[in-house]
Amino acid sequence: MKIVPCGSVPTTSAPSSHFTGRVLHQALVLREAPARLAAALVSFEPRARTYWHTHPFGQTLYVVSGAGQAQSWGGPVREIRAGDVVVFEPGEKHWHGGGPATAMSHVAMQEHVDGVSATWLEEVADEAFDASPAGG
């Protein structure tokens, strides 16, 4: 058994190369091979969001607090709230983040292969975010 004491893993700012707005990231699980699980607590301020991206084995989000938004490529923007579980299939292009006026935190869980758990794509434009049903 291994116990990682609370406060022993630093919270970092998520990189602006993959996120719009202020996003905080705290690694929860990063297992060494042969295990593949990676998990992080990710906290988005209002209007902050990921870029479009995919995951080789898919991704599961557990919304811990607040309300935000998520969208799969070609689909509608959907509101997500505390207690929701959001599942993206392998290779499904998507983004997720805070709401227009609300912060949101989720635990993001995905598997990695050769240390890669996501392929990052283009930024979600403000116009697309603002055009959402809950938008600005």
pLDDT at 47: 97
> Euclidean distance between the first and final Cα of the chain, in Å?
47
- Residues 74, 133, 110, 54, Cα dihedral to 10°: 30
Measured CA to CA, the distance from residue 36 to residue 30 in angstroms comes to: 8
Global pTM reads 0.91
Please report the pLDDT score of residue 136 as a whole number. Answer: 46
* φ/ψ of residue 89, rounded to 5: -75, 160
- What's residue 88's pLDDT? 98
Fold held by 18-130: Jelly Rolls (2.60.120)
Residue 3 neighbours by CB under 8 Å, 6+ apart: none
Binned average pLDDT, 10 residues per bin, the chain of 136 residues: 90 96 93 85 98 97 98 95 98 97 97 90 87 56
